[in-house]
Structure 1
């Protein structure tokens, strides 16, 4: 039986006064998810274990059936897995954003964690320059996608970097960075690298908004159990972001390339759907289709765009996949975490989910898919990595 996890990153939210107390999911037109809800089951799932940060790395690892409390090593290592980075067991792999800061002094603020959603080609020029001017036997700059890059620190897991606590830049938009500067100061070699990078990026020959680097989410290389051996099915991950692709690759899953995927509202929805269906028709059993746009809209605090991203997910991902596969497939629709407009970052609340399959064909009237309906169902899975086995066992 074909099983699909359709994940709208950050889709869940809190009631918003400007929407008369509705969430963006409640305000959005989602006829195709609602149709599944009328013959499905809804509930809540806690994708972020207690005490862990509510990031997409932790939450998507849970949704793929792996326990982050035991397997997660950091965000950087997951993205390194996506690129097939060769790193030693004691190397420290940092996620590296190119960001927009007021500066690197007390009282300065984080203004943009994405440098205006810098284009990949433009950011690659910056990363290649940083590697040429600052890279050495200890620190290596590795280009990624858009604002998301990597910094590999040789044998760094044995040094102070392993315990350096730098906050994710998307958590501190328009907030002072004093706390992080104190953390950087505890690792002078890394802070010096950041300062030198800022000097380079603030030169007149850089036309982008990127004026600093921000290393965070560090850890040793990631190792996950094989997905097929663990769950008995051949799986694939379809996504625009290295973070989720890295989880798939680390678990031995297929990760088909889709052209023109951006992680934003203008992504190639049809290409993602085609890649998912091609995998299933060529012998695959399970596809994890990930859409990043609702999360980015939540970080931007843009209500209208978040509603639009949810409606596009419903119309251009859910609708064509269900039309192609029909009622004989199993569908799990969820977000990995909430990205509430009110806080413009992630929340660790349990996420709403919808399941529909051949075992849930009884039509119910007046049912819609949203946070309130999932809460009212009374179904709660407290351990996120048990959601996939729960679906496969039905």
Structure 2
């Protein structure tokens, strides 16, 4: 038996008037998911433990079978694992976004958060900007590392875990009330603005109509993580296919195979087919029992408040990930089970994560009893199936 999870990050949403009162998942044309749902269990699952932040870190740990209350030590340390940054027990890891702030003639704290991703800046451009930051700010206490796109890493030697606000939570807001209380971090963010605002990379981006990546933003502080081996925990050899350092870091910590896919970049135009092919290859040719395919695009479109592209990202997930995976697994003749779900909602209306339950669809290639439902939030709620502890859902996938 082979096992697959397809995770549409932030795919769940609220009903939207422009979509005729439907959610993006219900509105999108998803013939493959519609077909599979007829032979699937659908329901709702709560992935964010009560009182914990509704992030992709806690949610994906839960979906992968790790109780966040036990295993979560912060988001950035997981990304450090992906990047290959060694952490001492006394280190604190910080997510270091390159963001777009407004550039009117006002003090730093009066600027507005325009874009948490700087127009989804390329990793190549970001690497040059991080090098400029390193030259201006790095010292024995703070080290900077390039990640992917706008997502980078800072290691704080003998630092401390302090509350920090994710930039995607304050889009269109003035930043003053959300700046770090730790003066060292605040000063570095201000200095980064001076380093980056007129950097040649940013002047070129501005000439192309793209947002300038003109400031660092620290968040997601945490300590060195320690995850149990996925194979020891579930007796399955697993593979991770994701463009996002967070997911790759979880996989590294869990001892899973991390598969790099050329052109997979976490955007709407990521290499969907490459991800699907990599998962099938891992399952059929590389002795893996389990493949986790993570797609970031629905979440990014939710943060952007882009209804049309959130719908499109779900349609791409259906036709360019799920369809080829199902077709190739069917051709192989091997029995398999497929779980499709979001990690958390990212509602268009508020452009950030919420802690609400999400719809899941669990398909078995051996199922022959036909049901009369489709896969979306409303029908999943009406199914009566509800899983309170999200980290137990994977056991449902594996046990049948």
TM over 0.5: yes
The corresponding residue for 1:50 is 50
SS of residue paired to 1:255: strand
Q: 1:341 aligns with which of 348, 353, 364?
A: 348
Is 1:300 matched up with 2:295? no
Q: Please report the RMSD computed on the Cα atoms of aligned residues, expressed in angstroms.
A: 1.3
SS of residue paired to 1:156: coil
Which sits farther off after the overlay, 355-364 or 101-110? 101-110
Is 1:188 matched up with 2:195? no
In the TM superposition, what are the counterparts of 1:68-217 in structure 2 within 5 Å? 68-102=68-102, 105-157=108-160, 162-163=161-162, 165-181=163-179, 184=180, 186-203=181-198, 205=200, 206-207=202-203, 208=205, 209-217=212-220
The corresponding residue for 1:242 is 245
In the TM superposition, what are the counterparts of 1:17-32 in structure 2 within 5 Å? 17-32=17-32
Structure 1 residue 106: Cα displacement: 4.3
On the 8 A contact 2:43/2:359 being kept in 1, the answer is yes
Structure 1 stretches of 4+ moved >3 Å: 103-107
Q: 1:10 to 1:204 in 2, by over 3 A?
A: closer
Distance 2:116 2:365 in 1: 43
Distance 1:26 1:246 in 2: 32
Is 1:351 matched up with 2:352? no
Is 1:309 matched up with 2:348? no
The corresponding residue for 1:373 is 379
SS of residue paired to 1:224: coil
SS of residue paired to 2:173: coil
On the 8 A contact 2:252/2:258 being kept in 1, the answer is yes
The corresponding residue for 1:280 is 283
Structure 1 residue 204: Cα displacement: 5.1
- Unpaired runs of 5+ residues, structure 2, are 206-211
Structure 1 residue 297: Cα displacement: 0.7
Which sits farther off after the overlay, 95-104 or 126-135? 95-104
SS of residue paired to 1:192: helix
The corresponding residue for 2:4 is 4
SS of residue paired to 2:79: helix
The corresponding residue for 2:39 is 39
SS of residue paired to 1:338: coil
Distance 1:355 1:389 in 2: 12
Distance 1:169 1:55 in 2: 12
Q: 1:224 aligns with which of 224, 227, 232?
A: 227
The TM-score with structure 2 as length reference comes to 0.94
SS of residue paired to 2:269: coil
The corresponding residue for 1:328 is 335
Structure 1 residue 360: Cα displacement: 3.1
On the 8 A contact 1:88/1:155 being kept in 2, the answer is no
SS of residue paired to 2:258: coil
Distance 2:109 2:260 in 1: 43
Is 1:15 matched up with 2:15? yes
Distance 1:360 1:234 in 2: 24
Distance 1:106 1:242 in 2: 29
Structure 1 residue 28: Cα displacement: 0.6
On the 8 A contact 2:120/2:267 being kept in 1, the answer is no
SS of residue paired to 1:344: coil
On the 8 A contact 2:75/2:95 being kept in 1, the answer is yes
